[in-house]
Amino acid sequence: MSDQQKNKRKVKDIFAPHELKSGVFFETPEIPQREEENEKESEEGLILEREEKLIAAFQTETILQDRDREEEVELRKLKESKEPIEPTGPTGPRETIIIKPPRRKDKKHLKPFLFLAIPVALAVLYYLGFVVLPRADIEIISRKIEVPFSKNIVVDSNISSIDINKAVIPGNLFVFNATETQEFKSTGLGKDETKAKGVITIYNNYSTSPQILVATTRFETPDHKIFRLDSRVVVPGATTENGKLVPSTIDVKVTADKPGPDYNIGPCQLPDCKFTIPGFQGMPEFNGFYGISKNPMTGGSAGSVPMVSAEDIKKAEDTILEKIMHSINQDVENKVPEELIILPGAKSGIKISKIESDAEIGDYIDKFTVSVEAEIKALAFNKDHIINFIETILSEDKDENYDFCQEPQIKYSDLEADFEKGSLKMTINVNQTLCHQIDLEAVKNAIIGKREEELDEIFRNNPGIEEVKIKFWPFWIKKVPSSLEKINVIVDAAVD
């Protein structure tokens, strides 16, 4: 038999028709005689039993096909090894497979419970859906009126309570002091120029009379470099010996006429070098008065060094003032209680009590510091005092069916602050909102258990109600629950 033919075998090819119909192939345990009521099984049970037998037969066929495949593989191996082959397969002995069909479970005992569970489940669902879950959310917008109000009032830091008759409310006067010091860098550039200095010995080889030379008198080198006397000097007169004039001398300090290293010259001595006095040019004294230097002139230099400029000073002052203003404003935010208000017009300008710097414009320094002391005064008041003042005055003419509601938006104008007296005059303007009173308990009792179409007339007849929004939950609910706890009434967004 080929593989294709074996695979096509069906249950009817293996078992005889009478075996399939009667199930004689299966070895089943002997069933004891049942009682009369068990013998009358329903047609549904018999069909189920036959289906189970057919399934068992198909399972048996699958087992036989798997065994045939294993035998063919074994035969193929024996042919290849040329060993004698014992007949196997359908002609050989085959072990009888006994399959016991499962016994049908008796479901009769469950039927009474099913008949009882269905009404219980329906009752639970009804209880949840129509008793536990239902809820009504009623959002009411009350009827409102706007009352304009305008009044001139005074905030006085010297009183502690509201004076309705004088239109005065208590206030607070705050004084904020601050000190700031900051270092700044010089950005200007100056020339670091110094003049050479030294000592000249002046000779009087002209007369026995002394000669006065004033400060800044010029002395000139052979290459025309000028040095000037630092101070007034009297050159002593010369002496005579054996009829000859003997020169007198005096040492004096001189400074180069111009700065720079070019005036750092070496010693200037006779006979090659001497200092002449240009002021005596063309006079007999020119050759009689001169000077020499035994040591070099030193100290002359030129360069750029940091210098404090006018812009540096201005920028430093602006920066330090901005810093101290920020410091004071931080004090206002952190030290003034949250319930108090400080209006922009109720704050004084910054008062500078001291500003100083350790440098001046033109100073040759790399860094300098600026210090400042400042003061600001502010008048503050409690907004609740303003609201109490407004409500007290409006209460005299207010309809008794209306109450104050919604915090008013107050506009302040015409501010006049007197920080010496600690008072603030201003005008307040406001539209005060009044809301009609609504008895929430009465509303709940009026709508309890009412259907949706009945609510419109109830709310329409309430004089304090402007508009109503009704929401039922779950969606299938069409009337207000019969429990007050399941009715949620909201008036002007304030949850009851």
What is the SS3 assignment for 99? coil
Measured in whole angstroms, how far is the alpha carbon of residue 431 from the centre of its chain?
Answer: 36
Of residues 217, 245, 242, the one with CA closest to residue 231: 217
* Mean pLDDT confidence for 315-340: 90
435 membership: H or E segment, kind and range = strand 423-436
Residue 13: φ, ψ to 5°: -75, -25
Of residues 290, 293, 263, 268, the one with CA closest to residue 277: 290
Beta strands in 46-166 (DSSP E): 135-142, 144-156
Q: By the 8 A CB rule, do 486 and 134 touch?
A: yes
Angle (nearest 5°) at CA 109 between 103 and 114: 120
* 74-83, 107-116, 158-167, 302-311 — most confident range: 158-167
* Residue 106 pLDDT exceeds 70: no
Q: What is the pLDDT of residue 193?
A: 84
Q: What is the pLDDT of residue 455?
A: 87
Which residues have a Cβ under 8 Å from the Cβ of 435 and sit 6 or more positions away? 142, 143, 144, 402, 403, 404, 405, 406, 492
- Rounded Cα distance between 489 and 140, Å, is 7
Residues linked to residue 490 through DSSP beta bridges, in sequence order: 139, 495
- Rounded Cα distance between 462 and 435, Å, is 14
- Rounded Cα distance between 464 and 395, Å, is 19
* Residue 158 pLDDT exceeds 90: yes
Residue 373: φ, ψ to 5°: -125, 130
Q: What is the pLDDT of residue 368?
A: 95
- Rounded Cα distance between 494 and 403, Å, is 14
Q: By the 8 A CB rule, do 350 and 376 touch?
A: yes
Q: Which domains does the chain have, with CATH numbers?
A: 3-106 (no CATH), 174-187+305-380 (no CATH), 193-302 (2.40.30)
Beta strands in 186-273 (DSSP E): 188-191, 195-204, 211-213, 218-220, 226-229, 233-235, 239-241, 244-246, 248-259
Of residues 346, 367, 422, the one with CA closest to residue 172: 422
pLDDT tens track for 43-61: 445 555 655 665 555 555 5
* 138-147, 191-200, 249-258 — most confident range: 249-258
pLDDT tens track for 175-222: 999 999 999 999 998 887 889 999 999 999 999 999 999 999 999 999
DSSP code of 184? E
Q: By the 8 A CB rule, do 266 and 296 touch?
A: yes
Question: pLDDT class for 27, splitting at 50, 70, 90?
Answer: very low
pTM assigned to the model: 0.49
Percent of the chain with pLDDT over 90: 49
Q: What is the pLDDT of residue 59?
A: 57
* Residue 332 pLDDT exceeds 80: yes
What is the average pLDDT value for the chain, to the nearest integer?
A: 81
Q: In the structure encoding, which two tokens stand for residue 116, read together?
A: 């009882």
